[in-house]
């Protein structure tokens, strides 16, 4: 997509982190914005910012993206208001860390429903709309570097992100075969100063369960590690320009933390050599030079 002005962007997870940065970039390009988030109070705060930055119009849609009926309703309302959808940014995401035998299974449902199934729901509803428009459109799925290689104590999060990346690649091929003028992008950043370490604030009641894991030493240790890695990550304002440049270039893989390349390569080499994976000490937060 080269010309953004007057076109419609639907952005999930829009109230914080990457989503908020994407709203700012879309606004600066004069787009119409459908901002979606479960946190209604925080969502309300971004409208004046978007208007100040130049958005042609912004509408807010409180929504639980893990509920397919709510997703369908949002897409329907966006079409009623704007008549089209040109850019879909599936960005809503949550995280929990810890070993599979300790983390409650309901946490996996929460993470997979949010990080993976919501992408499916929105693409299922939006892609037919984009196909009918017959104009060049883009879809960006936030997949994370955690979808490109594995590390310890991140099974739930990485399972969701590997799934999101595989989903994006597969849809990319399907759209080509269908002759659709819709380009896919997978945003795969490392640690950036987002709001991911506060995921518990977004947790719905349906995913809440009493379990000894919460408050346990391992849970506290995992929370502390996540907070450190997010706090010391790259500045959040790097994200928007990089992603929107990739949209302009119809770039599939948006891999921003180059020092992770060696871990991606090692994983692929081990697989092709039929070797067991190696445990490595991952340098998470090397600052970009």
Span of 18-22, 36-40, 158-162, 192-196 with lowest mean pLDDT: 192-196
Residue 179: pLDDT above 70? Answer: yes
For 33, the enclosing helix (H) or strand (E) is strand 32-37
User: Does some domain include residue 226?
Assistant: yes
Residue 189 in any domain: the answer is yes
pLDDT > 80? residue 285: no
Question: Does 12 reside within a domain?
Answer: yes
Measured CA angle at 53 (ends 52, 58), to 5 deg:
75
Structure confidence at residue 288 (pLDDT):
46
CB 51 within 8 A of CB 27: yes
The predicted model scores a pTM of 0.95
93, 148 in Cβ contact below 8 A? no
Stretch 64-69: mean pLDDT, rounded?
98
Tell me whether residue 68 is one of the annotated catalytic residues. Answer: no
Assign residue 243 the CATH number of its domain.
3.40.50.720
Instruction: Please give the share of the chain, as a percent, with pLDDT higher than 90.
Output: 91
Tell me which residue range forms the domain holding 118. 8-272
Give the pLDDT score at 72.
Answer: 98
pLDDT digits (tens, 9 = 90+) for 28-51: 999 999 999 999 999 999 999 999
Query: How high is the mean pLDDT of the chain?
Result: 95
In the predicted model, what is the mean pLDDT of residues 255-264? 94
Q: Which two tokens stand for residue 72?
A: 């369908």
- Domain presence at residue 285: no
Rounded to whole angstroms, the Cα distance separating 125 from 194 reads 28
pLDDT, tens digit (0-9, with 9 covering 90-100), for 223-247: 998 899 999 999 999 999 999 999 9
Confidence of residue 287 (pLDDT cuts 50, 70, 90): low
Average pLDDT value for residue range 198-212: 93
- Domain contains 134: yes
Q: Is residue 183 part of a domain?
A: yes
Please indicate, yes or no, if residue 288 is contained in any of the structural domains.
Answer: no
Across the range 199-208, mean pLDDT stands at 93
Which helix H or strand E contains 189, and what residues bound it? none
Provide the number of structural domains found in the chain. 1
Q: Which residues contact 206 (CB under 8 A, 6 or more apart)?
A: none
Choosing from 108, 157, 187, 207, the catalytic residue is 157
For residue 278, what are the CA distances in angstroms to 147, 149, 209, 281? Answer: 17, 11, 35, 10
Cβ(32)–Cβ(58) under 8 Å? yes
Residue 197 resides in a domain = yes
**Structure confidence at residue 147 (pLDDT):** 96
């Amino acid at each position: 997509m080269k010309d953004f002005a007057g076109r419609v962007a639907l952005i999930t997870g829009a109230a914080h982190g990457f989503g908020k940065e994407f709203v700012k970039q879309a606004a600066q390009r004069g787009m119409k914005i459908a901002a979606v988030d479960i946190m209604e109070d925080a969502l309300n705060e971004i409208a004046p910012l978007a208007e100040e930055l130049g958005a042609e119009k912004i509408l807010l849609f409180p929504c639980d993206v893990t509920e397919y009926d709510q997703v369908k309703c949002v897409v329907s309302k966006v079409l009623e208001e704007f008549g089209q959808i040109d850019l879909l940014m599936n960005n809503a995401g949550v995280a929990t860390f810890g070993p599979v035998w300790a983390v409650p299974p309901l946490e996996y449902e929460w993470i997979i429903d949010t990080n993976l199934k919501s992408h499916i729901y929105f693409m299922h509803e939006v892609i037919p709309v984009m196909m009918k428009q017959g104009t060049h459109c883009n879809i960006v799925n936030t997949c994370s570097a955690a979808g490109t290689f594995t590390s310890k104590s991140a099974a739930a999060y990485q399972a969701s992100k590997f799934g999101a990346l595989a989903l994006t690649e597969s849809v990319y091929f399907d759209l080509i075969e269908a002759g659709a003028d819709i380009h896919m992008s997978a945003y795969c950043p490392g640690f950036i100063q987002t709001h991911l370490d506060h995921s518990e604030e977004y947790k719905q009641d349906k995913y809440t369960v009493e379990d000894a894991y919460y408050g346990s030493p391992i849970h506290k240790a995992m929370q502390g590690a996540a907070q450190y890695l997010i706090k010391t990550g790259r500045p959040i304002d790097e994200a928007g320009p990089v992603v929107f440049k990739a949209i302009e270039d119809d770039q599939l893989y948006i891999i921003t933390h180059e020092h992770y390349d060696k871990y991606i390569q090692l994983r692929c080499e081990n697989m092709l050599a039929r070797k067991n994976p190696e445990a490595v000490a991952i340098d998470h937060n090397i600052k970009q030079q």
